[in-house]
């Protein structure tokens, strides 16, 4: 049974009240500081939202346990050919994830909690919070040093456009000045997208099978990252947009690591666009004096590609790993050799590696086989994606 409008509003209200109660409880810590404003600490707050009844709806490989190796909830889901999509029925995708995100509208401001230094939201939170809801949480955490949020790609084009406007707003105005590290990861599942399309009967539910990042989110990240030390944003922003908005008069004096994704790293994309983007990156990196690693990557079923620039004690390396069909122009390599000398004073070593596409079942497999050095996804979440999408004969 799908979640109706009345049930959705009821669930939203429950979450609002729980968040208020959580922050009011945490605000007691403020009383223990000399000025009553709050103790500045290094506590991590992890928020996870799901319905206890989700386990009853036949999601054999999409369970909500916290460990890295989830097990099927019941043997009854092994039907037909044992596909990881077996056990789903019409309406269940919307039932598990919610047809739309939770529009949290808290009437009063949440108490400010100074002791929280890290905020974590992992992909197991399938009931998505809207950007306004996330803003309300962020503004109550003025001492945040680290934000690591994993969320799910929206099911429809309309909802995705709305979410992207919110993402740009968060980057523009909601992140605290204290922030040093930002990790955003947008998860997706091609099979669930297809199932959602088949179960939807509303014209407005046009499913977006090709995710094209909103350039304004890339613009907002380029501007906000000036004050950050670590940035890892996957599938929310395209590196093309990020480097397009890296203004020549701006420097990233604090940035030490940068990881982005790009649709340009794909065998069907125009090589000219990919090479232009990588040349733009070589120009921008010269204005990032503390940068020690840059990774631009892409991953999906049958696809893995990584461009990596890394500065070592006595050398600099450029590594290009890819499944077949993606090649670099010699001019890109030359541009990076010059950039490495200017940026780090080191001679660039170049390494090429070819990966077999038969090993890449998901974007999580791509992360694993590419050997990303920047952590873009919680290890337990990475393992969970691999488990959920693993062919059942391998279980």
Please indicate whether residue 1 or residue 334 has the higher confidence score (pLDDT): 334
The span from the CA of 70 to the CA of 51, in Å, is 17
Task: Quote helix, strand, coil % in the chain, to nearest 5.
Answer: 40, 20, 40
What is the pLDDT averaged over residues 325-345?
Answer: 97
CA distance 297 to 366: 9
Query: Is pLDDT above 70 for 294?
Result: yes
Q: Is the pLDDT of residue 230 over 90?
A: yes
Indicate the average pLDDT of the chain.
83
Q: How sure is the predictor about 357, in pLDDT bands with cuts at 50, 70 and 90?
A: very high
Whether residue 79 is predicted with pLDDT greater than 70 in this model: the reply is no
Q: Is the pLDDT confidence value at 151 over 70? A: yes
User: What percent of the chain is predicted at pLDDT more than 70?
Assistant: 74
Higher pLDDT, 173 or 90: 173
Q: Specify the pLDDT at position 58.
A: 45
Q: Tell me, what's the pLDDT at 71?
A: 41
H-run or E-run covering 235: strand 230-238
Task: Please report the pLDDT score of residue 80 as a whole number.
Answer: 35
How far are the Cα atoms of 12, 84, 244, 386 from residue 81, in angstroms, in the given order?
Answer: 38, 9, 47, 19
Per-residue model confidence (pLDDT) at position 134: 84
Q: For 80-84, what is the mean pLDDT?
A: 43
pLDDT digits (tens, 9 = 90+) for 64-73: 455 544 444 4
Mean pLDDT, residues 117-146: 86
CA distances from 27 to 44, 113, 116, 140 (A): 15, 6, 11, 10
Tell me what the mean pLDDT of segment 357-362 comes to: 92
pLDDT band per the 50, 70, 90 thresholds, residue 132: confident
Full DSSP string of 93-157: HHHHH-SS-B----SSPPPP-TTEEEEEE-TT--SPBPHHHHHHHHTT-TT--EEEEEEEPPSBH
Q: Rounded mean pLDDT of 369-375? A: 98
Work out the pLDDT band at 156, boundaries 50, 70, 90. Answer: confident
Distance of CA 155 to the CA centre of its chain: 16
* pLDDT level of residue 29 (50, 70, 90 thresholds): confident
Least confident of 110-119, 183-192, 288-297: 183-192
């Amino acid at each position: 049974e799908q979640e109706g409008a009345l049930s959705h509003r009821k669930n939203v209200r429950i979450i609002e009240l729980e968040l208020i109660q959580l922050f009011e409880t945490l605000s007691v810590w403020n009383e223990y500081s000399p000025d009553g404003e709050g103790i500045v600490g290094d506590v991590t707050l992890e928020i996870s939202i799901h319905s206890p009844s989700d386990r009853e709806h036949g999601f054999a490989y999409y369970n909500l346990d916290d460990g890295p190796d989830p097990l099927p909830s019941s043997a009854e889901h092994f039907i037909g050919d044992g596909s990881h999509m077996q056990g789903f029925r019409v309406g269940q995708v919307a039932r598990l994830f919610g047809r739309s995100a939770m529009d949290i509208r808290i009437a009063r401001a949440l108490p400010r909690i100074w002791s929280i230094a890290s905020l974590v939201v992992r992909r197991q939170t399938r009931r998505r919070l809207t950007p306004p809801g996330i803003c309300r949480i962020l503004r109550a955490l003025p001492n945040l040093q680290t934000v690591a949020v994993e969320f799910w790609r929206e099911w429809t084009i309309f909802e995705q456009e709305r979410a992207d406007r919110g993402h740009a707003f968060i980057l523009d105005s909601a992140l605290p000045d204290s922030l040093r590290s930002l990790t955003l990861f947008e998860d997706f599942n091609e099979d669930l997208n297809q199932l959602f399309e088949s179960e939807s009967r509303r014209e407005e539910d046009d499913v977006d099978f090709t995710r094209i990042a909103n350039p304004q989110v890339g613009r907002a990240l380029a501007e906000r990252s000036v004050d950050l030390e670590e940035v890892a944003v996957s599938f929310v922003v395209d590196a093309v947009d990020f480097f397009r908005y890296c203004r020549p008069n701006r420097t990233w004096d604090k940035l030490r690591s940068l990881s982005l994704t790009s649709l340009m790293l794909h065998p069907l994309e125009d090589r000219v666009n990919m090479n232009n983007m990588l040349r733009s990156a070589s120009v921008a990196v010269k204005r990032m004096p503390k940068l020690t690693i840059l990774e631009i990557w892409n991953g999906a079923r049958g696809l893995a590609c990584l461009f990596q620039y890394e500065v070592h004690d006595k050398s600099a390396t450029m590594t290009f790993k890819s499944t077949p069909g993606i090649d670099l122009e010699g001019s890109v390599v030359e541009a990076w050799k010059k950039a490495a000398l200017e940026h780090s004073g080191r001679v660039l070593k170049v390494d090429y590696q070819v990966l077999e596409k038969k090993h890449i079942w998901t974007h999580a497999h791509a992360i694993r086989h590419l050997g990303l050095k920047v952590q873009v996804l919680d290890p337990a979440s990475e393992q969970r994606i691999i488990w959920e999408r693993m062919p059942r004969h391998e279980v």
